Structure 1
């Protein structure tokens, strides 16, 4: 009696087929001259994909050369040839157009493109790129409120990225050092741009930056480590100018370090996750309201923004 699986198929021992007899289809790679897409004949085609490539490459080259009007024109033409299901290229082109409009001083057009990109965002990567672009656009036009909100949204979306916190802290410091801009914007906006709250938010962001960079130092070496050590030193110097007392530092540290544990940092948001499956607690609810309720402004209110000026 044969045991199940003890017999072999004769084909196992048959000779392998001659591999040379297998027919492999030939492939001829397309060779293109440098900047071939700049030639007038590059658009002599009925292929919509080829036309899309030509206009996109022209836009990218013009952007690199600093010719933003030509780049905007090329990107606008490219948009007409993008298929409805090619969302990644569409987003890339819209971002390029927004940057060109910003460079050309076309504020309303740039903001309109940001709104279009907001509607197209479907995952955390899209949202991160959009928020970074918003920061760039609003900074260029000197729009304080929306720029600060975008940085705060970045801190909420990427809570363990020290650079978003550092940039938000630097923004608060710059506003404190520019009394003219500060007073104008504070009148037009709300109390979040008051000197006392900007001072507190700057302290908060710089303390959080130091905490995050010190955690990251355990996994760093070489020039990356040196760079982060320099940033920590810069944050320390900025905090010294802000001059919070020790009680304020301890109170803020306690609030902004609540989520800084290895388990929580591993389980936080995943790159590219669908926005429909992501819950991002707002900056205000997660950190800011707790710090305001701690009463540090009343306790440490003697520190004036003028202390931050060099």
Structure 2
């Protein structure tokens, strides 16, 4: 005995099978393009095709170090980008800024960065702009402006140890340039001027401050790291320890720095304050100096210690000479 509805008539499905087999293409030939096809295309179906072609050409020329020609194509691409296509616009503007930088036109490159900043809508956009400005300043050898960009990155991403490590090395380069830029034939009065000594002391303490911050951050993050990520952190930790030893600030000074730089380091808070992709509306970024540098300087000044290592002149740091913005 058959239960009602328990059997099927295959003829019901015959039509659908035939239909599926009849509509399936007998052969499929994917569209293929010649290598660098966009370099030889002179006719375009519409503005969108022309925009894409100019963008591809500009990217290729930039890769080939043809910066002036790439700049011309990026500019042509920008004139074709619709006002609502912010992604392509940002990409082309970044290409324009990088071309200006390589051509030695620094002011125009920074003006282009300002245009990008106006269209930034989230923290990822802002991070890319800071990194772009950093590359422009580094290309011109401007260490101080580069350090300012890194300060902004650290303020935006306070728990990213790699931004802090770059900033520490930037201060270290400033310290070395201040130390070795002096001519040995200068008079002792010029060599021991208050301004020069103050610059060296400031750069020295700023470098130590950032290296200590890196050490603290890596110590927290290493707990949940494995494989090559952990290896990278361990290598960075070793490099940080070597750099701190070369700065020779003394244990008491380093302890004070660690106390100040660890005040906002809470593992739970660090997990909650992931700002990647967060909208800029309502985002408050505390000034770098207010958040860390001024606080450290005030702490050292209150302790009123001019020799933090029991008379060791090599560890002596005069806190009265530090510059506070």
Check whether TM > 0.5: yes
1-structure distance, mates of 2:85, 2:242 = 48
- Encode CA deviations 1:45-93: one digit per residue, 9 max, x unaligned: 1411111111111111111112212211111111111110001111111
Pairing of 1:45-84 with structure 2 (within 5 A): 45-84=44-83
Equivalent residue, structure 1, for 2:36: 35
TM superposition score normalised by structure 1? 0.83
Which consecutive unaligned segments of at least 5 residues does structure 1 have?
1-9, 184-189, 306-310
Against the structure 1 CA distance between its residues 141 and 24, is the aligned structure 2 distance closer, same or farther, given a 3 Å change threshold? Answer: farther
Residue 287 of structure 2 corresponds to residue 282 of structure 1: yes
Q: Residues 59 and 74 of structure 1 are in contact (CA less than 8 Å); yes or no, is this contact kept in structure 2?
A: yes
Equivalent residue, structure 2, for 1:21: 19
Q: Residues 51 and 80 of structure 2 are in contact (CA less than 8 Å); yes or no, is this contact kept in structure 1?
A: yes
Residue 245 of structure 2 corresponds to residue 253 of structure 1: no
Once the 2 structures are TM-superposed, how far is the Cα of residue 28 of structure 1 from its aligned partner?
Answer: 7.3
Greater shift in the superposed pair: 50-59 or 20-29: 20-29
Equivalent residue, structure 2, for 1:92: 91
Q: Residues 220 and 267 of structure 2 are in contact (CA less than 8 Å); yes or no, is this contact kept in structure 1?
A: no
Residue 274 of structure 2 corresponds to residue 273 of structure 1: no
1-structure distance, mates of 2:23, 2:147 = 58
- Encode CA deviations 1:267-296: one digit per residue, 9 max, x unaligned: 114311110131222212221121011026
2-structure distance, mates of 1:293, 1:19 = 82
- Encode CA deviations 1:187-206: one digit per residue, 9 max, x unaligned: xxx99x82222111101100
Q: Residues 269 and 278 of structure 1 are in contact (CA less than 8 Å); yes or no, is this contact kept in structure 2?
A: no
- Encode CA deviations 1:145-190: one digit per residue, 9 max, x unaligned: 332221111001111111110011001111111127978xxxxxx9
Against the structure 1 CA distance between its residues 180 and 246, is the aligned structure 2 distance closer, same or farther, given a 3 Å change threshold? Answer: closer
TM superposition score normalised by structure 2? 0.79
Greater shift in the superposed pair: 277-286 or 239-248: 277-286
**Aligned-pair Cα RMSD in Å:** 2.9
2-structure distance, mates of 1:25, 1:83 = 38
Residue 305 of structure 2 corresponds to residue 299 of structure 1: yes
Q: Residues 176 and 182 of structure 1 are in contact (CA less than 8 Å); yes or no, is this contact kept in structure 2?
A: no
Paired residue secondary structure (1:149): helix
Which protein shows a greater Rg?
Answer: 2
Against the structure 1 CA distance between its residues 45 and 171, is the aligned structure 2 distance closer, same or farther, given a 3 Å change threshold? Answer: same
Against the structure 1 CA distance between its residues 25 and 257, is the aligned structure 2 distance closer, same or farther, given a 3 Å change threshold? Answer: farther
1-structure distance, mates of 2:138, 2:119 = 23
Against the structure 1 CA distance between its residues 180 and 80, is the aligned structure 2 distance closer, same or farther, given a 3 Å change threshold? Answer: farther
2-structure distance, mates of 1:169, 1:24 = 65
Which consecutive unaligned segments of at least 5 residues does structure 2 have?
183-194, 308-312, 318-325
Equivalent residue, structure 2, for 1:144: 143
